[in-house]
Amino acid sequence: MAQINCVKLTKEYNKGENVIRPLDEVDLEVESGKFLALMGPSGSGKTTLLNLIAGIDRPTLGNLIIGGNDITGLSNSKLAQWRSEYIGYVFQLYNLVPVLTAYENVELPLLLQNLSRKERHNEVQLALELVNLSDRYKHYPRQLSGGQEQRVAIARAIVTDPKIIVADEPTGDLDKKSAMAIMQLMQRLNKELGKTMIMVTHDPKTAEFADLTLHLEKGRLVEQMVH
Ligand SMILES: Nc1ncnc2c1ncn2[C@@H]1O[C@H](COP(=O)(O)OP(=O)(O)O)[C@@H](O)[C@H]1O
Ligand SMILES: [Mg+2]
């Protein structure tokens, strides 16, 4: 069975008298351990699809079955709990908390779990080692480069050992060199740690790191390319 199964996944918003459908009956299956890239023009529904899969947003119609569980009907608190165990999210603009150090940013998701301070310390250290930033743990986001900030954000996404990592244009704000370093790191999370990855990107070079690229247009999947 596929790890992620989207069944006629639909998102609608009321805009005055009109209804807009950023996502229109999308059927999609992703096997565990796959690396999927999502491309498509601005406004085609990429972020909407990512946020539904991550349990950040809810579909208007359709179902989302992840790891055999239909998460569509979960209460808000159950969904939040599910998300904290299952999903790591990487954003284009990193979304680090500016008044917290790199260490404290990475520790944040662990505060939702029932761990001792020592256990949290071990997990944070491992995650910072993985992104090669152990020596910067005391730094604040403003003291880091964009590429380093994104590596802290990746450490934060991976620290709870989630099964699925979703990333919304993770290299969109980076220079070429930093972008490649981030992609190599994403590839390691996929190949060495077996994380299922879903990544939105505008850059075909970045998409080449994925096993498969799907194209969205006006809320529908229109095309796919196997790498
Ligand atoms: N909260 C919202 N309310 C109304 N419309 C929205 C909302 N979120 C997204 N949309 C609309 O949904 C469409 C798809 O948005 P999005 O998924 O962000 O596209 P993409 O990530 O592909 O650029 C856009 O037309 C956007 O304006
Ligand atoms: Mg988007």
pLDDT, position 225: 83
Nearest CA to ligand 1 atom 10: 22
Nearest CA to ligand 1 atom 3: 13
Q: How far apart are CA 226 and CA 120, in angstroms?
A: 39
Q: Tokens standing for 64? A: 């989302």
Which residues lie below 8 Å from residue 20, measured CB to CB, with a gap of 6+? 12, 13
Q: Is 48 in the pocket of ligand 1 (CB under 6 A)?
A: yes
pLDDT value of position 163 = 97
Cα–Cα distance, 92 to 173 (Å, whole number): 7
Q: What residue's CA is closest to ligand 1, atom 16?
A: 45
| pLDDT band at residue 90 under the 50/70/90 scheme | very high
Q: Averaged over 192-201, what is the pLDDT?
A: 97
Ligand 1, residues 23, 48, 199, 200: which to mutate, most atoms within 8 A of Cβ? 48
End-to-end CA distance of the chain: 23
Ligand 1 close to Cβ of residue 43 (< 6 A): yes
Does the beta carbon of 151 lie inside 6 Å of ligand 1?
A: no
**What one-letter code names the amino acid at 144?**
L
pLDDT value, residue 112: 86
pLDDT tens-digit map of 49-68 = 999 999 999 999 999 999 99
Task: Yes or no: say if 151 and 105 are a contact pair by the CB < 8 Å rule.
Answer: no
Ligand 1 touching residue 47 (CB < 6 A): yes
Sheet holding 220-226, edge to edge: 87-90, 164-168, 196-200, 35-39, 212-217, 220-226
Measured by CA distance, the residue closest to atom 19 of ligand 1 is: 43
CATH number at residue 79: 3.40.50.300
Give residue 168's pLDDT: 97
DSSP state of 135: G
Atom of ligand 1 nearest to the CA of 168: 21
Ligand nearest to the CA of 169: 2
Other beta carbons within 10 Å of 90: 24
Q: What is the mean pLDDT of residues 72-92?
A: 94
pLDDT tens-digit map of 135-174: 999 999 999 999 999 999 999 999 999 999 999 999 999 9
Kindly give the number of the ligand 1 atom that is closest to the alpha carbon of 40.
22
Number of domains in the chain: 1
The CA 167 to ligand 2 mean position distance, Å, reads 10
Predicted confidence at residue 1, as pLDDT, reads 80
Residue of 47, 58, 198, 199 to test ligand 1 pocket, by largest number of atoms within 8 Å of CB: 47
Q: What is the Cα–Cα distance from 67 to 196, expressed in whole angstroms?
A: 12
pTM: 0.94
Range of the domain at 180: 4-226
**Confidence at 204, pLDDT banded by 50, 70, 90:** very high
